[in-house]
A and B are shown apart, each in its own frame.
Chain A
Amino acid sequence: MTYARRAWIIFYKDLLVERRSKEQTNALLFFCLLLLFLFQFALGPDRDRLAAALPGLLWLGFILAGLLGLGRSFLAERENDCWEGLRLTPGDKSAIYLGKLAGNCVLMTAVEVVLVVLFGVFYNVDLWTPAAPLALVLALGTIGLAAVGTLFAAMTTQVRARELLFPVLLLPVQVPLLLATVSATQALLLGQPLADVAHWLKLLAGADAVYVTIGLLTFEFVLEG
């Protein structure tokens, strides 16, 4: 029970800090808007080309936002030696990972919702009809990204050149997730039923389970640093 309390208080604390400082979330959401423009300008005015690239762009935007948002997961802990304070707390350190993971999932979900809405509006794409199955793909993709991102963010917090190392470590590991989510999203947007992308969903679910498990098991080794 203490484990759950500790995970919860980490989550709650991060929420409070974020709500008070506001800097991170607002900037991140604004970044999503900028990405929209970026993609449009990069791909040109051709409507069809944009529509065809849409699933990829959606997840690309999501990963880019993730690189920014997740990399900062442990930034608050760098102030006033709070990281050290966490090291001194007794008990299973994976509770900290879980709390941080939950917070990051919430953050990334907010980013996604914004991206999806922006894409729907600006690129005039119907994202409402396949909303339910799409939400499932989004949820599975989010967990996978956040699971590895939280772990690597903790690691790179203590390392030189962390802003560079974080994407370098995270992106190759995310490749299977990217392939799965983009393929599944594409199929769903073309109107295919959920059953058609079942194998992708299973891959995502399996990968998520693996990543979260590794995160839970190895976080204490990362925190020690």
Chain B
Amino acid sequence: MIAAQDLRKTYGPTLVLDGVSFALAPGQCLALLGPNGAGKTTLLRLLATLLRPTSGALRVGGIDALREPDRVRPLLGVVAHGSYVYEDLTARENLRFWETMRGGDASPARLSAALAQVELDTVAEERVRTFSSGMKRRLGLARVLLTQARLLLLDEPFTGLDRRGRKWVNEFLQAFKAGGGTAVLATHSFGGGLGVADRIGILGQGRLLLDRPAADLSPEELHRVYESLTEGAEAGA
């Protein structure tokens, strides 16, 4: 689903990504770990075609993402920090807006179904301004549900959520994978997300320091490896 080759990104004199390469098969979930400033968000934004790399190649779903980002975008579902909601619109109006902008079918029935799936149907006509951050996150996931995305890119999806919220996102991801979807999630917490990951990647100093199947590492081993790999990164940062 994803084929990234030697991705580099510089902002002026600052090198953020220094030759990141990896491949992800469809139906798999990659969890990207790393300290703040390691480049997780930058990498995700690159994958989302929101940024162009300074050099390197990227293919998503078999399409050259650098040459034809507009053909890649319909495949993507992005869940980022901002959650893409208009505070003054209701949950339903938000969904209707984004789905229409996507060019999809924004019929009331479809919207209701998506809202029900994320358990927001009871508050569908409430303004998003009244929502908790967990509810806004769920609304973002409802939006993604409507898009029928094949690749989900999530940036810190568990931040700001309580235990119930985290469990919810985990279940959502499991169901998404079961439906054949691929996911990349960036997180700096070990609690959530790792259960659903098939591969673990550790990003440090702009490079992929580790890229292994999740089954290979027990949680304790992972912790140890993480500490040792990122120790240098944090000391140097």
Query: Which A residues contact B (CB, under 8 angstroms)?
Result: 2, 5-6, 9-10, 13, 16-17, 20-21, 76, 79-82, 84-91
Contacts and interface: CB of A to CB of B under 8 A. Distances in A.
A90 B100 contact: no
19 contacts: A16-B88, A16-B89, A20-B88, A20-B89, A80-B82, A80-B87, A81-B80, A82-B86, A84-B50, A84-B78, A84-B80, A84-B84, A85-B82, A85-B84, A86-B101, A89-B73, A89-B98, A89-B101, A90-B102
Interface of B: 48-50, 70, 73-74, 76, 78, 80-89, 93, 96-98, 100-103, 127, 136
Contact of A13 (B76, B80, B84, B86): B86
A172 B38 CA distance: 44
Contact of A88 (B73, B81, B89, B100): B73
A88 B86 contact: no
B103 A2 contact: yes
| Leading 3 A-B pairs by shortest Cβ distance | A81-B82, A85-B84, A9-B100
A85 B100 CA distance: 13
Contacts, number: 74
A89 B49 CA distance: 11
A80 B89 contact: no
Contact of A91 (B78, B85, B98, B103): B103
Contact of A80 (B76, B85, B100): B85
Given A84-B50, A89-B73, A21 B88 contact: yes
Given A89-B101, A90-B102, A79 B73 contact: no
Contacts of A85: 82, 84, 98
B86 A79 contact: yes
